[in-house]
Amino acid sequence: MNVTDASAARAAAVASTIDRIRAIEAEMGVTRPALAKIRDELMALAAQEHLFPSHVFPPPEAGAKGANRYLLQEDADNRFALYLNALNPGNRTKPHDHTTWAVVVAVEGQELNKVYARTDDGSDPERCQIHVAEEIMVEPGRGICLMPEDIHSIHTLGDVPTRHLHMYGLALEKLEDRKGYDEETGAVTLYNKAFMKPTAQPKA
């Protein structure tokens, strides 16, 4: 399959998957059962590993921190945004929320997701108290579903880079109010402003 054919096949598979995801949300709303169905759709897409080769969606240079985030598709109103995240082993993020629903599945590699519970009442916008309530390993065949208020952090494990599909109800670039949470100090910051890198471009 040449580059043009592969790109067209990927675009078609992504578009049809997102069509079904729109229908799920329209029918079931933003609920955990709906996100579980969306996760199943995305795992079927991620299983087509040949559509997301590492030479088209490479991680940062070996040993580099951070992710290369590639936009695969989003609606004109910035809804239903699907990205491919490529990271090296040994990366982690600060605990954060999204303010929209999110589903993450794996094409390749392991990503430990720590899910946190808040123990404060949320009345102080600059302080928090959180603790790890659950750990979920995102890897081929297993994903994670997050409601808008859920808090998680990402930890890439193993010895190979990860390529994971991240689906959001609204594009990450529009989530200006999402927060980062410091488990040790309790500080709350604006996550996009403090930590989010620009979107990368796939390689030809």
pLDDT in tens, 139-154: 999 999 999 999 999 9
- In this prediction, residue 2 carries a pLDDT of 65
What is this structure's pTM? 0.93
User: How large is the angle between the packed helices 3-28 and 32-46, nearest 10 degrees?
Assistant: 170
What's the rounded mean pLDDT across residues 134-139? 97
Taking the alpha carbons at both ends of the chain, their separation in whole angstroms is 14
Give the position of tokens 């989530």. Answer: 175
SS3 46: helix
Residue 3 has a pLDDT of 66
Amino acid 198: pLDDT: 77
pLDDT at residue 204 is higher than 70? no
